[in-house]
Homo-oligomer: A and B are copies of this chain.
């Protein structure tokens, strides 16, 4: 038996193993399995239950890595990818749409950091550490209400 995926014979050059995908992307095998679990990848299976990925999944993983670098959580990335019909990998046009959305997120982060920095500069002058007076502490302070779990480093 050579290249049967769930009973269907297919040209073998189209498919790669998890180990190969790992080598091509630099992402650990365990992480790729984890990504499947999270709905980022949808590999086929051989009759023996081994994963077989499409070559195009290399791009898909690249997309995930880049999006992560831009600060998106895996869950958000799943959402972006889910907007593509049929779990298709992003085309140039998709990618433009998605990256424009990402750009907005980055812009927001930069804006926030700049504001924080300005406030810090004022604080350097006054040395204030008062909960009732410090602008740094009091501006939009809803972070403390977020409940359990780790809070966003910057949000």
Contacts and interface: CB of A to CB of B under 8 A. Distances in A.
Interface residues of A, number: 48
Contact of A66 (B25, B92, B134, B154): B134
Interface string A96-111: 1001101100110110
Interface of A: 24-27, 58-59, 62-63, 65-66, 69-71, 90-93, 95-96, 99-100, 102-103, 106-107, 109-110, 113-114, 116-117, 120-121, 123-124, 127, 129-131, 134, 136-137, 143-144, 150, 152-154
Q: Which 9 A-B pairs have the closest CB atoms?
A: A92-B127, A95-B127, A99-B124, A62-B131, A106-B117, A62-B129, A153-B153, A59-B129, A110-B113
